[in-house]
């Protein structure tokens, strides 16, 4: 699996910009760089040089270039970077010249894949690179940085050490039965296996990982004309939804994304919940109910200047066990509803903005802890749960008095699962699949 050829790709986003970086990695990186770029002084590793890039007698650009000699580079190979003026032409011509000189186009994620194959990063840290690139908010970025700094690796290594300790205890019972009986070893192994399984399970928080990576789903619901669309516009600071006095204006789901406390919140303004005769409106109401069922938090919007209707009361009953915030809107008018009659309501005015900042904080609180668990990627959590199941199977074997070999097999299965998180035990097909999701040039 060790790469021998030299690859090149654009490492910055395509299109117009201040700078475009072409990256080269492999045994011919310095040779190719020298063929295109002549520095004012002999090449020194890790120093940026000013000059011009030219190919076949044609000047391509005024630029900067840097050489990173192995192993002190991103890939642990010789790496060259050419920093060109941003735009399509110069980068395209530079890449064409590199390909003509013997480099080949890098595949998606191939630079990071080489960093993994050359032992610079383990698989979990390599995956963190793409997680950081795709992070949409501060919480997702922080989770990716923790993983990049070895948070996942450290957690997995500690779990592996505990597993190896359990395996050594089982091995001692097998090799020295006159000194330690299997019954004595089984009691220690069962307790240790169950404790480690619980630790692995508690490290998995699918909901928190999803919210950190994809955002919090918040649905505005209520009967027609309580101010849901106005509230969506106030929260998003834009005219995301049409606002009129005509009931049933919103018939489909209108969405707006807002960043609150480093967390992306996906707001959905739904059709007013009522039994209308209009077929289109009934479809909108049906979609609204599905959105409420799948939301991380439902904002139950009431018109504080009007008495509760049967529709209001039905919605309050239907959502009393769901994650929700009762929002008393239109507090800028004469209020008829009393806040003390509801459980911790948010009293706001979508027109004046009163109470909106406090409402935002309460919404963000439903994402508290998102992305802060030890494992935040689905692949890692799936493998940790598989390891936990194998550990529990080993514990059950000890409890039931099964042969020691059976417990050892389950422990080895758990160890293999943890090894696949960091890439210690992984096949080439999985590696290719993981890195295929990366962008080209990373």
Q: Please tell me the distance from the alpha carbon of residue 357 to that of residue 235, in angstroms, as a whole number.
A: 9
Supply the DSSP symbol for 136: -
Closest CA to 91 of 5, 6, 17: 17
Length of the chain: 442
393-427 burial string, b = 16+ CB within 10 Å, else e? bbbbbbeeeeebeebbebbebbbbbbbbbbbeebe
Model confidence, pTM: 0.78
Quickly list DSSP for 21-83: EEEEESTTHHHHHHHHB--SS---TT-EEEEEEEETTEEEEEEEEEEE-TTSSSSSS-EEEEE
Do the Cβ atoms of 19 and 81 come closer than 8 Å? Answer: no
Q: Which two tokens stand for residue 163?
A: 């597993």
Do the Cβ atoms of 147 and 125 come closer than 8 Å? Answer: yes
Do the Cβ atoms of 113 and 430 come closer than 8 Å? Answer: no
Q: What is the pLDDT along the chain (442 residues), one digit of tens a residue?
A: 455 899 999 999 888 888 999 999 999 999 999 999 987 677 889 999 999 999 998 999 999 999 999 999 999 999 999 999 998 899 999 999 999 999 999 999 999 999 999 999 999 999 998 888 888 888 888 888 988 888 999 999 999 999 999 998 888 777 777 666 777 778 889 999 999 999 999 999 999 999 988 899 999 998 888 888 889 999 988 765 444 444 444 445 688 899 998 899 999 887 654 455 555 445 555 566 676 777 899 999 999 999 999 889 988 988 888 899 999 999 999 999 999 999 999 999 999 999 999 999 999 999 988 888 889 999 999 999 999 999 999 999 999 988 888 899 999 999 999 999 999 888 788 888 888 888 888 8
Q: Which two tokens stand for residue 217?
A: 């789903």
Q: Please tell me the distance from the alpha carbon of residue 247 to that of residue 268, in angstroms, as a whole number.
A: 18
- Residues whose CB is less than 8 angstroms from the CB of residue 390 and which lie 6 or more positions away in sequence, other chains included: 410, 411, 413, 414, 417
């Amino acid at each position: 699996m060790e790469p021998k050829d030299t690859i090149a790709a654009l490492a910055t986003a395509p299109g117009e910009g201040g700078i475009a970086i072409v990256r080269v990695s492999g045994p011919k990186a310095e040779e190719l760089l020298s063929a295109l770029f002549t520095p004012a002084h002999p090449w020194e590793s890790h120093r940026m040089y000013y000059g011009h890039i030219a190919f076949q007698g044609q000047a391509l650009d005024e630029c900067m270039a840097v050489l990173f000699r192995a192993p002190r580079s991103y890939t642990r190979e010789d790496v060259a970077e050419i920093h060109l003026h941003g735009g399509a032409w110069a980068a395209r011509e530079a890449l064409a010249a590199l390909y003509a000189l013997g480099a080949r186009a890098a595949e998606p994620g191939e630079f990071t894949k080489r960093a993994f194959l050359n032992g610079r990063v383990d698989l979990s840290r390599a995956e963190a690179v793409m997680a950081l690139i795709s992070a949409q908010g501060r919480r997702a970025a922080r989770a990716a940085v923790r993983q990049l700094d070895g948070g996942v690796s450290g957690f997995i290594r500690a779990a592996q050490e505990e597993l190896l300790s359990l395996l050594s205890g089982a091995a001692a019972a097998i090799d020295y039965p006159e000194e330690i009986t299997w019954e004595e070893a089984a009691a220690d192994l069962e307790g240790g296996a169950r404790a480690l399984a619980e630790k692995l399970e508690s490290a998995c928080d699918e909901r928190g990982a999803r919210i950190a990576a994809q955002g919090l789903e918040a649905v505005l619901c209520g009967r027609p004309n309580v101010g849901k669309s106005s509230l969506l516009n106030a929260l998003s600071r834009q005219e995301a939804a049409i606002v009129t006095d005509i009931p049933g204006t919103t018939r489909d789901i209108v969405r707006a994304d807002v960043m609150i406390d480093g967390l992306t919140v996906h707001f959905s303004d739904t059709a007013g919940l009522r039994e209308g005769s209009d077929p289109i409106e009934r479809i909108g109401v049906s979609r609204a109910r599905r959105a409420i069922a799948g939301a991380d938090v439902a904002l139950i919007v009431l018109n504080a200047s009007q008495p509760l209707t049967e529709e209001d009361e039905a919605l309050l009953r239907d959502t009393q066990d769901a994650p929700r915030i009762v929002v008393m809107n239109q507090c800028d008018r004469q209020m008829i509803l009393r806040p003390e009659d509801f459980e911790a309501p948010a009293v706001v005015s979508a027109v004046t903005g009163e109470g909106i900042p406090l409402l935002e904080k309460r919404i963000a609180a439903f994402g508290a802890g998102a992305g802060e668990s030890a494992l935040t990627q689905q692949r890692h959590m799936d493998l940790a749960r598989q390891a936990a199941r194998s550990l529990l199977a080993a514990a059950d074997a000890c409890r039931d008095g099964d042969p020691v070999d059976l417990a050892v097999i389950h422990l080895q299965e758990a160890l293999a699962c943890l090894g696949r998180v960091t890439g210690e035990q992984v096949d080439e097909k999985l590696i290719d699949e993981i890195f295929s999701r990366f962008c080209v040039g990373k």
